[in-house]
A and B are shown apart, each in its own frame.
Chain A
Amino acid sequence: TQLLEQSPQFLSIQEGENLTVYCNSSSVFSSLQWYRQEPGEGPVLLVTVVTGGEVKKLKRLTFQFGDARKDSSLHITAAQPGDTGLYLCAGASGTYKYIFGTGTRLKVLA
């Protein structure tokens, strides 16, 4: 069974701080996606990474896919209250099926 472990599970920080969320697995994924989900809503796709070592930036968010395509990280610079939410990574293993990570709940305090 493929598992995607995210750390930390919970994170509460002050506005303006930086943070990194990790997504780790023992399995290799053909691609990996990051989502943010707000309460009572479906997940919203932030980014897809497909190449080992790939780095993508989306404004204050930086995503990296590990060289071996087993892990990924999400770094947020100067966090804002609007960044609050549940962050989920999801890996695909060659099929069109994605396995979701355990989730990281972020709260940014004003």
Chain B
Amino acid sequence: GAVVSQHPSWVICKSGTSVKIECRSLDFQATTMFWYRQFPKQSLMLMATSNEGSKATYEQGVEKDKFLINHASLTLSTLTVTSAHPEDSSFYICSASLRVLGDTQYFGPGTRLTVL
């Protein structure tokens, strides 16, 4: 149980276009979803926390207009990278948690974004 999926697993896009990444909790309803960014050979950096039906809380230094997060249901959160540039190329990982299960976060497999 507690499986989280991400789609797509990888995407290549041209500079200036927008890319949407989906994060789904497949067998549980996630109270909270988290979005992380990971550069090669580095750790995970938390970008934002989203709760279903409310606005996401962004970490300091993360542009909310650039990284749009929507948590429309208890099983789906989306991250849209708007007007992507090469420096946005990274590995984006989401996680989901259900508070009645404790603080455990269940991670998705990640999405590799390459902006040309």
Complex CA distance for A73 and B6, rounded to whole angstroms: 31
Encoded as 1 (CB less than 8 Å from any A CB) or 0, chain B from 96 to 108 comes to 0101001111111
Q: Which of B49, B93, B102, B103 has most A Cβ within 10 Å?
A: B103
Contact of A48 among B34, B44, B103, B108 (CB under 8 A): B103
Which chain A residues border B54 with CB–CB below 8 Å?
none
> Given that A41-B109, A41-B110, A48-B104 are known contacts, is A97 also in contact with B93, CB under 8 Å in the complex?
no
Interface size class of A (residues with CB under 8 A): 20 to 34
Q: Does B32 contact A (CB under 8 A)?
A: yes
- Interface SS of chain B: strand
Which chain A residues border B93 with CB–CB below 8 Å?
42-43
Cβ–Cβ contact B104 & A99, under 8 A: no
Cβ–Cβ contact B103 & A92, under 8 A: yes
Q: Does B7 contact A (CB under 8 A)?
A: no
- Interface SS of chain A: strand
Encoded as 1 (CB less than 8 Å from any B CB) or 0, chain A from 7 to 40 comes to 0000000000000000000000001010100001
Which chain B residues border A33 with CB–CB below 8 Å?
104-105
Cβ–Cβ contact B43 & A101, under 8 A: yes
Binding site for B on A (CB under 8 A): 1, 31, 33, 35, 40-45, 48, 88, 90, 92, 96-103, 105
